[in-house]
Amino acid sequence: MPYVTTAAVVTTLPAHAEDAVDGDVCRTSVCAGSGGMKSGGVDTANHLGGMVHGPALQAGSVDVFNIQLPGSTAGAVRVPQQLPPVTRAFTERQGDRERLSLVLAETHGAGDQRGEGLMVVGLHDATGIGKSTLAVRWVLDIGEQFPDGVLYARFDIGGPGQTRESESVLAGFLLALGVAQHALFADPEHRAALYRTLTAHRTLVVLLDDVDHGWQVTSLRPGGSACLMVTTNRHPLGSLVEHGVRVHHVGPLDSEHRLALFQGITGPDRACSDLLAAARPVELCHGRPLTIAAFAAATALRPGMPLADLVDDLNRPLDTFDRMATTS
């Protein structure tokens, strides 16, 4: 909700104005003394009606206007769109996307047919298999079903043990939903309660990328049953499975899409010049898109080198490309 206050500017004080405040709440009306008074040649009267909380000032003539506090979003509904861009080298994975959409339709429904309770979909498998890219692409597919936007956070921010704290992610989500920085509660439980309140009547997606533990997402579950939460992780999260998460296993790319991904990065001419030489190292990447992409990038940087000689000349086993993929 926006944070707006109402203020009054006093232009003329009546001669016999009376104090209209009775404690913190007033339900009265007060007029100027007998005969009233003149303001610009016009008789003025002073009235205070309705319910007033806090101090009140009776004045002969008042101009009322609204003040919008810094950081508030009065008069506007903020729709966050936080998805990262999808790489142009993304392979379609049409089968995965169709299965995910089918699960969404069968379990969650659409519009008035939406089921009760928050739906959570978890995508899992080993590093480099393309879970994050698939999740982002699928959320783009279903975006029209969630008109209130997308909240996104990536937990893995670097090397081993370097993950974002849930409290930091929650604060970012609240800011994205229109809460002013100065209005954020210090207590994490109060922040989580406000987050659930703000999402209770919205239809949005929350995508949590590279989650390691179920407790990381507990405070980030939106409050509305019309919302969808998507997680990506390297293994199924038991605590989420207990709460009904729908688990989707992300498998390796098939042979056709492996070569298509390689060609998308190096260009079709490079791979077509020696399809057999291109296919062999691509197959050795075991269908992991990020490993294939790392190898293709190294190939693109050496346009004059025959593909058959590339891996040996680089003096890098393919597991080195695995490491490049996981740190990129």
Query: Whole-number mean pLDDT of the chain?
Result: 74
Max Cα–Cα distance, the chain, nearest Å: 104
Q: Which residue has the tokens 């190294």?
A: 298
> How far, in Å, CA of 17 to CA of 45, rounded?
10
pLDDT tens for 227-265 read 999 999 887 777 777 767 888 889 888 888 888 888 888
**75: pLDDT strictly greater than 50:** no
Q: What phi and psi values does residue 123 have, to the nearest 5 degrees?
A: -100, 125
Quote the pLDDT of residue 10.
37
Quote the pLDDT of residue 70.
46
CB atoms within 10 A of CB 13: 15
**91: pLDDT strictly greater than 70:** yes
Residues linked to residue 205 through DSSP beta bridges, in sequence order: 150, 228
Q: What letter would DSSP give residue 126? A: S
**203: pLDDT strictly greater than 60:** yes
Task: Give the residue with greater pLDDT, 183 vs 92.
Answer: 183
> How far, in Å, CA of 128 to CA of 234, rounded?
10
Secondary structure of residue 282 in the 3-state scheme: helix
> How far, in Å, CA of 288 to CA of 126, rounded?
9
- DSSP letter for each residue of 13-62: --TT------TTEE------STT-EEETTEEE-----S-EES-----SEE
pLDDT tens for 28-50 read 333 334 444 444 555 555 565 65
Secondary structure of residue 325 in the 3-state scheme: helix
Task: Give the residue with greater pLDDT, 168 vs 60.
Answer: 168
Whole-model pTM: value is 0.70
**149: pLDDT strictly greater than 60:** yes
